[in-house]
């Protein structure tokens, strides 16, 4: 069953990227980028997952020798989420500005930077 999570992670990355390739709307492209990034969350959490093991919280919980899921990848996923929030906010703000300056958010219609 473990391979299932990795398949989902890879699928999210690919389908998100494909969303950007086929996008007709910059907001859609930005959200597709977030979908692709969700693949990294799933991958990181799958790497640290252990069947039946509790969360790595020891205060008042399991004995220190208990097997727990890996907290390192969870910390990485958190950092990843912070990065994602920053980049997505910046990109959405830029999309608004693109709409204000170009009167369109269709990538096919943004043709000023060519060659």
Partner 1 sequence: MSRSALAPLAVVAPILAACVVLVAGRRAPRLVIDVLATATAAGVAATTGFLAASTLGGRAVTWSGGWSPVGGRSVGVVLVADPLGAGLACLAGLLTAVAMLYSWRYLASLQAHYHTLVLLFLAGLVGFALTGDLFNMFVFFELMGAAAYALTALRIEEPDSVQGGLTFAVINSLGAYLSLMGVGLIYARTGELGLARIGRALGGQRADALVIVAFVLVVTGFLVKAAVAPMHFWLADAHAVAPAPICVLMSGVMVELGVYAVARVYTTAFAGVLPGGVLRTALLVPGLLTVTVGSGMCLIQRHIKRLLAYSTIAHTGLFVVAFAVLTPGSVAGAALYVLGHAGIKGALFLVTGLLLDRFGSVDERDLFGRGSRRDPGGWFFLAGGVALAGAPPLGPGIGKAVAEDAAGRAGYPWLVAAFVVGSAVTGGAVLRAGLRVFLGLGHPPQPPASETQGSGEQPETPSLVRAVPRTMLAAIVLLLLAGALPGVVPPLWVAAGRAARMFLDRTGYAGQTLDAAPPTPVAPLPGLGWTTTGVVLGLVSVTLAVAVALLGVYRPRRAGWRGPVRSPAPVELLHRLHSGHVGDYVAWLFLGVAVVGALIAVPLLAGR
With respect to partner 1, which residue has the nearer C-beta, 54 or 71?
71
Please state, in angstroms and rounded to a whole number, the distance separating the CA atoms of residues 16 and 32: 5
- Site map 78..107 versus partner 1, x via CB under 8 A: -xx--x--xx--xx--xx-xx--xx----x
Are 52 and 2 in contact by the 8 Å Cβ rule? The answer is no
Task: Give the residue, chosen from 5, 27, 68, 110, that forms a contact with partner 1 under the rule CB under 8 A.
Answer: 110
Please state, in angstroms and rounded to a whole number, the distance separating the CA atoms of residues 115 and 54: 55
Q: Decide if residue 5 touches partner 1 (CB under 8 A).
A: no
Are 18 and 33 in contact by the 8 Å Cβ rule? The answer is no
Of residues 21 through 50, those in contact with partner 1 by CB under 8 A are: 21-23, 26, 29-30, 33, 36-37, 39-40, 43-44, 47
Q: Decide if residue 15 touches partner 1 (CB under 8 A).
A: no
Please state, in angstroms and rounded to a whole number, the distance separating the CA atoms of residues 112 and 2: 47
């Amino acid at each position: 069953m473990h391979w299932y999570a990795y398949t989902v992670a890879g699928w999210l990355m690919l389908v998100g990227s494909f969303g950007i390739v086929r996008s007709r709307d910059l907001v859609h492209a930005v959200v597709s980028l977030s979908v692709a990034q969700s693949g990294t969350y799933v991958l990181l959490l799958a790497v640290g997952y252990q069947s039946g093991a509790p969360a790595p919280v020891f205060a008042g919980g399991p004995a220190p020798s208990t097997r727990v899921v890996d907290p390192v990848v969870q910390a990485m996923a958190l950092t990843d989420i912070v990065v994602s929030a920053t980049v997505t906010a910046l990109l959405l703000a830029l999309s608004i500005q693109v709409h204000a300056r170009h009167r369109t958010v269709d990538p096919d219609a943004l043709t000023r930077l060519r060659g």
